Amino acid sequence: MIEHWTKELVLQRLLSAVLLTVLVILCFQIVQFFISPAIWAAILAYVTFPLYRFFHHKVHLSPTLSALIMTAAVSLTIGVPLIIGVFFLQQEVISFYGTMVHRLQAGYVDLPESIKNLPIIGQQIRDTLWEINKDPESSMATARAWVQSHLYYGKLAFDAVLKNLTKLGMALMTLFFFYRDGMSLMKQIRQAMKNIIGDRIDHYINSVAATTQAVVYGIGLTALAQALLAGLGYAVANAPNPILLTIITFMVALVPFGTPFAWGGVSLWLLSQGYTTQGIGLGLWGILVISWVDNLIRPIVISGATKIPFILIFIGVLGGLTAFGFVGLFIGPVVLAIVLAVWREWISQHRSEIFANQNAQTTTSQQALPCGTK
């Protein structure tokens, strides 16, 4: 009888585990598209939650109204620069397309002498330009055929942009609920994790909170400072569309040590167009001023606040970017912070055993030495 009951129990547990696994897989398939927007919404909500508390507790607005105000503010903060950037980018594409069509029709496609005089490839560039300008009609037909043969990639790019805009809309919608119901959700998550791990979860959650705040502020402030300084350099150097270049620089600066590719590219473009003084000046401004912001603000804000070695943060940022995409900039350091917190707690708990073994080995070694030996 007992054996029969045990088999039934084992079978019941096995079926429960299988059903739970299937349920988890189905849930993951359903919410897979919304995981990334939810993570972005959680990061934005956590960083800006003090402002929500100001409206809710200080101004005494309802949770719904406070969440609505904060969601609208974040939407404007993200949407306005995005719309400005898209507008200027569209103008640049239209201008570039019109200029290239006009030059192809006129048989006057040229590049600066500095590019045509490049070693190894300079002569090939000259020959290609001569072939293009020799027969403008044939060059136009070739360009149209090339564009038509690559329309598929344009569709892929449009689908990618549309997909990311959809994710942005989902993130902003989720942000509203994180503001309004965030405290209740955090209490439930904390209690659920405490049921599994125990009271140690409080230490882990504090580590995650401190790391998330430091990484977001460190990366965000660094990128913003570098973009503003680079924008000032673009304006002084008379680079085209300094506002668009500033927005692009901000996005590139979110990746550690990525800013030199932004202002360095603009500097090289100015040099190629014959603006030697402006190109050299922008390069010096980037080396002496812009790059030092990355070397000062990021380590101080991130490592100083979290007591985590900067090299670990750096590995987490780049590794997270490779593994999870853009949101991995924040996921990577947080995951490594949790691992480091677990490691430090384990070392702290077993410190007496570790040092006791070391002391015992030292005592044994000293006792084994001959008399009179120090």
Give pLDDT tens digits along the chain (374 positions): 444 557 777 778 788 888 889 998 998 888 888 888 888 898 888 888 889 999 988 888 999 999 999 999 999 988 888 888 788 777 777 877 777 777 777 767 766 666 667 677 777 877 877 777 777 777 777 777 777 777 777 778 778 888 888 888 899 999 999 999 988 888 888 888 888 777 777 777 777 777 777 777 777 788 888 899 999 999 999 888 888 888 889 888 887 778 889 899 899 888 877 788 888 999 999 988 888 777 666 666 666 655 677 777 778 878 888 888 878 877 887 788 778 777 877 777 766 655 555 555 555 555 555 554 54
Cα separation, 272 vs 283, whole angstroms: 13
Query: Where are the strands (E) in the chain, listed by range?
Result: none
Cα separation, 161 vs 148, whole angstroms: 20
CA 179 vs. chain centroid, Å, equals 22
Identify the pLDDT of residue 365: 54
At 107, give phi and psi (nearest 5°): 70, 35
In Å, what is the CA distance from 292 to each residue of 164, 222, 312, 356? 32, 10, 20, 46
Identify the pLDDT of residue 72: 93
Cα separation, 222 vs 111, whole angstroms: 36
Cα separation, 185 vs 177, whole angstroms: 10
- pTM, two decimals, is 0.68
Helix axes 2-53, 328-349, angle to 10 degrees: 120
